[in-house]
Amino acid sequence: MSDEASEDSRADRLDARRRRYRWAGVLCAAMIVGGAATVVAFTLNDDAGNSVEATTDDDEPSTRRTFDDEDLPELNKFVADAPTRPLSYEDPLRVWVGGDSLSGALGPALGEFNGTTGVVETTVDYKVSSGLATHVRNWPDYAEDVMPRDDPEVVVFMIGTNDATIVSSYDNDDDGIPDWEPDYRAKVAEMMDLLLENERVVLWIGAPTMRTDSRDKGAVEVNRVMREEAALRSPELVYVDAYRLFAGDDGGYTESLENAEGDTVRVRIDDGVHFTAAGAEHLAAAVFALLDARYDIVEQTDPEHARKYTIRHGGGSGSSGSGSGSRRTTPTTTVTADTTDESAPPPTVVTTPPTTVPTTVPPTTVPPTVPPTVPPTVPPTTTPVTEPPTTTTP
């Protein structure tokens, strides 16, 4: 196919899907407004190690945002020219979500979107305080083990928040490149290549804006490296600019964003790092728009067969510098709800301390918490801590 024909094909598919995103977004908004009241509280630590609680309820409006290529430019890169395969409940699109604790908020929110379509299977597998420059989990080693086992078609990987603290201006060899960058770039390239093996498609999500100036500057720099490496692997790997998605009017950190109705919605909690339920929903909506653009999910939705999503909380011991990564830990949260009865009560949330167990322990399976019609936006149940990386495990 010529370059001109390829661009025409992409433009046609984007135009058709742009209309579908808006239609689906309206239905999602109606579902959220009419849904049962839900109160979820979760506890994590702020940058100083203090315990903070984030609570969301039915009084907090949803972001309810829809995305097209004007506010989500990644759509232009992620639309495949070739027809995507048929999806069904029996043969769903297999999506794996991993990364640091921010992916631990994104994953359940995206799992709810995906699950009620009936044609997307989601596995969430994150590690608190992890990064590519930390020793909390050796992500390349872990990916080599878990990718063949889970066999995802699509990987959604969010990293960088903890890595932001390695950024400095030191340039001991005076070559114009700061000392932290070459090694970090090599780690990013290695991880990207591992995730792309076996013809997988990868959505690589960078760090969002940070309230602390030093950490925010670090996020900008690690994001630059990740964006540059992603460009070398496009279109099968696309960089999702979470920094832009969570930026305020001045382009920097904000704790609140405006939703489609013009209401101000809080998207970040008090620590200036983690997402609120609405923030996780905001990012999940963008990721779902990208998945739909590539795989025609909305057109193939089977709402009568809502799917559960699987979550593995990464609370186990981290790897050492030798490269032996943590393999599996018990889930810290179990959520149960009726997936078919519209009058079902709000989900029950039970939180217990994480415990490291052998790899034979099965992951928790979490059902969607709203009626299966269109992808809903349900707040994640827990948000783990993301600590700045140091020479020891955060």
Who contacts 297 (Cβ-Cβ below 8 Å, separation ≥6)? Answer: 87, 93, 114, 117, 119, 120, 288, 291
- Give me Rg for the CA atoms of the chain: 20
Residue 78 backbone dihedrals phi, psi, to 5 degrees: -95, -10
Interatomic CA distance for residues 55 and 287, integer angstroms? 24
pLDDT given at position 263: 87
pLDDT tens-digit profile of 79-135? 877 778 999 999 999 999 999 999 999 999 999 999 999 999 999 999 999 999 999
Distance CA 108, CA 357 (A): 22
- Among the listed residues 179, 216, 187, the one whose alpha carbon sits nearest the alpha carbon of residue 204: 187
What are residue 356's DSSP bridge partners? Answer: 329
C-beta separation of 21 from 9 below 8 A: no
CB atoms within 10 A of CB 85: 11
Instruction: Print pLDDT tens along the chain (394 aa).
Output: 555 555 555 556 555 554 454 434 433 433 332 232 223 333 343 333 333 333 334 445 554 467 777 778 888 888 877 778 999 999 999 999 999 999 999 999 999 999 999 999 999 999 999 999 999 999 999 999 999 999 999 999 999 999 999 999 998 888 989 999 999 999 999 999 999 999 999 999 999 999 999 999 999 999 999 999 999 999 999 999 999 999 999 999 999 998 877 889 999 999 999 999 999 999 999 999 999 999 999 999 998 999 999 998 664 333 322 222 222 333 333 333 233 333 333 333 333 333 333 333 345 555 544 444 444 444 444 444 344 444 333 3
Distance CA 75, CA 68 (A): 7
